[in-house]
Every structure is written in structure tokens, then in C-alpha cells.
Structure 1
Amino acid sequence: MDKEELSVKVFKALGHPIRYKIVKFLYNGPKCVCKLNEDIEFSQANLSQHLKILKEAGILSCEKVGMNMHYRLSSDEIKNIIDNVDKFVVSFTDNSK
């Protein structure tokens, strides 16, 4: 996969409302999948599929801690993407009034 294809994969992964919500939920640090399951109101199978897509895009990483799987953003660069999009949205909505 070349750089352009990976970039598109990242945007596609972040483009889904549930996956965006997962990334925002993990913005401030790792969380157990059980906490994600409480916050994201979907079945375990559905949540697992979204987590898989985010991992395959390089956005999330995970590690087993005891009996639980903990997910986190794979890098602070993901936070920068989220921050920049949030700034753009504020600027866009302010300018469109």
C-alpha cells in the first residue's frame, strides 16, 4: 500500500461517526474495551469491527492488560488530525454565518 492509499484509509476510518466517537473517547488516554463498550452503544461485535478498522488504518493500537484489552491512539499525530479538523470546523461554521 502506498502513502496515498494509506492516507485515504485513515480518512475513511475517521469518516464514520462511530469510529470518530471512539477516537475522541480515546483522545485523553487508553481505555479498556469494556469502557468503550459502555460509552459506544452498540453490540460487542459491531464495536469490534470498528476497532479492527481503526487498527488496520494505524489509528489505534492495543495491548492486553490482565484479562482486558486496552486501546489507545497509536500516536499523537492522530490527536493533531483531530485538533486540526476541530479548528477547521469552528472556522468554517464561523465564516458561514
Structure 2
Amino acid sequence: MNSEDVSIKILKALGHPIRLQIVKSLLSESRCVCDLNRAFDFSQANLSQHLKFLRESGILEYKKTGVEMHYRVKLKNISTLLNAMDQTVEEYFETLDF
């Protein structure tokens, strides 16, 4: 796998609205699955599938504490990437005002 493949894998993982919300919610702290499930209005099965996708893309990692699974962002530069995306979106909307 080359760097372009990894870039595509990461962007694809962040390209889904639910996964993007999950990652943003984990930027400042780790959270257990039970907290994530309460925070988002989708099924446990759906959440599990998205968490698995984010783990497999290398963005998230987890640690089992007792019976709870705690997730956190593994790639610290994801925050930088998301901030750059927010700025890009802002710039995009500014260019629409001709």
C-alpha cells in the first residue's frame, strides 16, 4: 500500500457524515461505546460498523476497560486535517458570492 492509497482510505473514512461526526466527537477525549451510542441517534449495530471502518482505516484505536470499549483518535493530525477542511469549506462558500 502506498501513500496515495492511505490518503484515499482516510478520506473515504471521513467522507461519511456519521463517521465524520464520530471522529469530531473523539478529537478532545476518548469515549466509551455506550457514550457514543447515547450521543448519536443510530443503532448499536450501525455505530459498531462505523467504528470498525474507522479502526480499519487507522483513524481510531480502542482500549478495553472492564466491559467497556473506549475509543480515541489514533492519528493526531486528523484534527489538523479537519481544521483545514473547515477552512476550505469556508473559502468555498466565500467564492460563491461573486
Structure 1 counterpart of 2:64, one-letter code: K
Equivalence for 2:87: 87
The DSSP-based 3-state class of the residue aligned with 2:62 is strand
Aligned length: 97
Take 2:95 and 2:19, find their aligned partners in 1: how far apart are those partners? Answer: 27
Q: Aligned pair 1:29/2:23, yes or no?
A: no
**Structure 1: gaps spanning 5 or more residues:** none
Take 1:81 and 1:18, find their aligned partners in 2: how far apart are those partners? Answer: 17
Identity among equivalent pairs (%)? 47
What's the TM-score once normalised by structure 2's chain length? 0.93
Take 1:29 and 1:93, find their aligned partners in 2: how far apart are those partners? Answer: 30
Equivalence for 1:14: 14
Take 2:95 and 2:29, find their aligned partners in 1: how far apart are those partners? Answer: 33
Q: RMSD in angstroms over aligned alpha carbons?
A: 1.0
Q: Aligned pair 1:38/2:38, yes or no?
A: yes
Take 1:55 and 1:12, find their aligned partners in 2: how far apart are those partners? Answer: 13
What's the TM-score once normalised by structure 1's chain length? 0.94
Equivalence for 1:77: 77
Q: Quote how far apart the aligned CAs of 1:40 are.
A: 1.6
Q: Quote how far apart the aligned CAs of 1:93 are.
A: 1.2
**Which runs of at least 4 in structure 1 moved beyond 6 Å after TM superposition?**
none
Structure 1 counterpart of 2:42, one-letter code: F
Q: Quote how far apart the aligned CAs of 1:12 are.
A: 0.6
The DSSP-based 3-state class of the residue aligned with 1:63 is strand
The DSSP-based 3-state class of the residue aligned with 2:77 is helix
The DSSP-based 3-state class of the residue aligned with 2:64 is strand
The DSSP-based 3-state class of the residue aligned with 1:22 is helix
The DSSP-based 3-state class of the residue aligned with 1:71 is strand
Q: Quote how far apart the aligned CAs of 1:11 are.
A: 0.6
The DSSP-based 3-state class of the residue aligned with 1:76 is coil
